Amino acid sequence: MTLIKSISGIRGTIGGPTGDTLNPLDIVKFVTAYATFIERREERGERREGERRESSRRIVVGRDARISGEMVKNVVCGTLMGYGYDVINIGLATTPTTELAVRMSGADGGIIITASHNPRQWNALKLLNSEGEFLNKEDGNEVLRIAEAEDFQYADVDHLGKYIEDNTFDERHIQSVLDLKLVDREAIRKAGFRVCVDAINSVGGVILPGLLQALGVDYEILNGEPNGDFAHNPEPLEKNLQGIMGRMREGGFDLGIVVDPDVDRLAFICEDGTMFGEEYTLVSVADYILSHQPGNTVSNLSSTRALRDVTEKYGGQYTAAAVGEVNVTTKMKEVGAVIGGEGNGGVIYPESHYGRDALVGIALFLSSLAQKGMKASELRKTFPNYFIAKNRIDLTPSTDVDAILVKVKEMFANEQVNDIDGVKIDFPDKWVHLRKSNTEPIIRVYSEAHTMEEADALGKQIMDIVYKMQG
């Protein structure tokens, strides 16, 4: 498996030749490039707007429970210390916990060791700035350039970094959620909820019991042992969740809660065992927030139109961003969004921090259910109903994808077209979004309509047009 390098970090499978997998030598090179990038920014006095300006010479490291996590963590921490940075190792921690730990500790940055929803043989390094947010495109590309140049200078014996373990950040993360104004702890406690949680053998099993106990929620944990040996495909999609769906159908629960291995994505299951819909995680939380605090919202181009509908219902303005969390957070700051995220179950609530956070999503969703006195299935019926079809067009490596997208844009010039990330065509009652993959010769084709049949037909209509262009 080719080692995948991007502006957000590197990822790959464990084991195999250097340059082709995620292995110790490539980890050392990439971590050193990141440390060099941080140091050079400090020397130049460069910071993104809103970032801290003083240097602490500290980097936070957190990891999910993947089998390879201990090995990768040791290499990462040793490399940072060898470069002269103190390491704050927060141990098994969610992605949002690590993001918050950077801010709370006043560190210069952070490295999250997680491959998110990828299978057990994968791992990855995700890079954070001093605000605990992902690097933007410019910064990420600079790290990649430094890694290729390999112009590294390590610390001498008198300037090696120190190793610090701090296991307090789970508790501090939970407390920060409880302190949010719109988390209605009293209403949740009075509702007497009982929930079933699929923690997919990772850090969700470590932190979610503490959150639920603090909220006064009774719970049962499935796949709670954080051993990284995932009980099923870890992506929180319906096809992978038959175990918890079956448990929900047995009765006795008000809600099913599903997270991915690093707990930044969140999916709900209704009390009757049906999916609430991962696209509707953000929609439901946004509806609750906007009912108390009207304002603007943001999601990416491939997310459901239901967020736009809900936003406009409360008099706010919806804006679409390019796909990618950093693109969503950047746009949220530009438009002053009060809530945003991604349709894959990613909730970003600025009152907490600019990162997808399943803990925040859980607390706000339970607050909404408690205040409205509704079952999850009843709440789901209050939102506009859309269906998204996901297809792909396989191309030859020589295909000029950009030229194809330009032609598609020209063909639909009379419709509302957005080309900030591929081409999205908005029709009055449906949309289709084409964007090229950064890692393989394909075009992803997402389409949405009021029925799955209509959504799939729209996607295939556009696919046929592209195939004809290829001859």
Distance of alpha carbon 48 from alpha carbon 129, whole angstroms: 9
What are the Cα distances from residue 126, in Å, to 53, 129, 275, 296?
22, 10, 30, 28
The residue from 8, 68, 105, 116 that is catalytic is: 116
Distance of alpha carbon 161 from alpha carbon 415, whole angstroms: 57
Contact 110, 62 (CB under 8 A): yes
Instruction: For residue 440, give both structure tokens.
Output: 């393989």
Report the DSSP beta bridge partners of residue 128.
110, 134
Count of alpha carbons within 13 angstroms of residue 437, beta-carbon side: 17
Distance of alpha carbon 255 from alpha carbon 271, whole angstroms: 5
Distance of alpha carbon 341 from alpha carbon 347, whole angstroms: 5
Contact 125, 76 (CB under 8 A): yes
Backbone angles phi and psi of 371, in degrees to 5 = -65, -35
Distance of alpha carbon 193 from alpha carbon 26, whole angstroms: 47
Q: In what order do the strands lie in the sheet with 58-63?
A: 4-6, 9-13, 122-128, 109-113, 58-63, 86-92, 163-165
Instruction: For residue 347, give both structure tokens.
Output: 């909730």
Contact 115, 96 (CB under 8 A): no
Give start and end residues of each alpha helix (H) in 106-153: 137-149
Q: Residue 116 catalytic?
A: yes
Distance of alpha carbon 259 from alpha carbon 274, whole angstroms: 16
Q: For residue 110, what are the contacts with CB-CB under 8 A and spacing of at least 6?
A: 59, 60, 61, 62, 98, 99, 101, 102, 127, 128, 132
Residue 171 three-state SS: helix
- 28: exposed, middle or buried (C-beta count within 10 Å: 0-12, 13-18, 19+)? middle
Distance of alpha carbon 14 from alpha carbon 70, whole angstroms: 12
Contact 269, 255 (CB under 8 A): yes
* Residues belonging to the chain: 471
Instruction: For residue 360, give both structure tokens.
Output: 């925040």
Alpha carbon distance, N-terminus to C-terminus of the chain: 31
Backbone angles phi and psi of 346, in degrees to 5 = -100, 115
Catalytically active residues are 116
